[in-house]
Amino acid sequence: TPTDVKRICCIGAGYVGGPTMAMIAAKCPDIRVDVCDINQPRIDAWNSDELPVYEPGLDEVVAGARGKNLFFTTAVEESIAAADLIFVSVGTPTKSYGIGAGRAADLCYIESAARMIAENANGPKIIVEKSTIPVRTAEAIRTILAANSENGQFQVLSNPEFLAEGTAVEDLEAPDRILIGGERTPEGDAAVESLVRVYANWVPRERILTTNLWSSELSKLVANAFLAQRISSINAISALCEETGADVDEVARAIGSDSRIGPKFLKASVGFGGSCFQKDILNLVYLCDHFGLPEVAKYWNSVVTMNDWQKERFSTRIVKTLFNTVRGKRIGVLGFAFKKDTNDTRESAAIYVCRDLLLEGANIALYDPKVPVSTIRADLNYVGISDEVIDKQLTICDSAVEATKAAHGVAVLTEWDEFKTLDFDTIYDNMFKPAFVFDGRNILPHDELRAKGFEVYAIGKG
Ligand code: UDX
Ligand code: UDX
Ligand code: ADP
Residue 452 is assigned to a ligand binding site:
no
Distance (Å) of CA 257 to CA 71, 93, 223, 253, 305? 46, 37, 21, 6, 28
> What are the pLDDT digits (tens) for 33-90?
999 999 999 999 999 999 999 899 999 999 999 999 999 999 999 999 999 999 999 9
Residue nearest to atom 27 of ligand 1 (CA): 272
Distances in Å between the Cα of 351 and the Cα atoms of 29, 111, 274, 379 are 41, 30, 11, 7
Judge whether 403 and 334 are in contact, CB under 8 Å: yes
pLDDT of residue 152: 65
Closest CA to 270 of 299, 224, 307: 307
DSSP string, 154-204: EEEEE------TTSHHHHHHS-S-EEEEE-SSHHHHHHHHHHHHHHTTTS-
Backbone angles phi, psi at 365, to 5 degrees: -110, 115
Ligand 1 binding pocket includes 274 (Cβ within 6 Å): yes
Q: What distance in angstroms lies between residue 105's CA and the mean position of ligand 3's atoms? A: 14
ipTM value greater than 0.85 = yes
pLDDT score of 320: 98
Domain 7-203, classified CATH 3.40.50.720, yes or no: yes
If residue 145 lies in a helix (H) or strand (E), which one and from where to where? helix 137-147
Domain 305-458: CATH architecture, name and number where available: 3-Layer(aba) Sandwich (3.40)
Q: How far is the CA of 42 from the centre of ligand 3 (A)?
A: 10
Question: Residue 69 carries which DSSP code?
Answer: T
Nearest to 184 by CA among 155, 204, 142: 155
Interval 24-43: pLDDT, tens: 999 999 999 999 999 999 99
Query: Which of 9, 10, 276, 288 is the catalytic position?
Result: 276
Rounded-to-integer distance, Cα 25 and Cα 31, Å: 7
> Burial of 151 by CB count in 10 Å (0-12 exposed, 13-18 middle, 19+ buried)?
exposed
168 Cβ below 6 A of ligand 1: no
Q: Please list every protein residue whose CB sits less than 6 Å from any atom of ligand 3.
A: 11-17, 36-39, 42, 76, 89-91, 109, 112-113, 116, 131, 275
Kind plus residue range of the DSSP H or E element containing 365: strand 363-367
341 close to 56: Cβ distance less than 8 angstroms: yes
| Known catalytic membership, residue 276 | yes
Query: Looking at this protein, which amino acid is placed at residue 335?
Result: G
State the distance from the centre of ligand 2 to the C-alpha of 261, rounded, in angstroms: 12
Alpha-carbon radius of gyration of the chain: 24
Distance in angstroms (rounded) separating the CA atoms of residues 12 and 89: 5
Cα first-last separation, the chain: 63
Element (H, E) at 228: helix 213-244
Domain residue spans in the chain? 7-203, 305-458
Distance 269 CA to ligand 2 centre (A): 29
Judge whether 361 is annotated as a binding position.
no
Q: Which residues of the chain have pLDDT under 50?
A: none
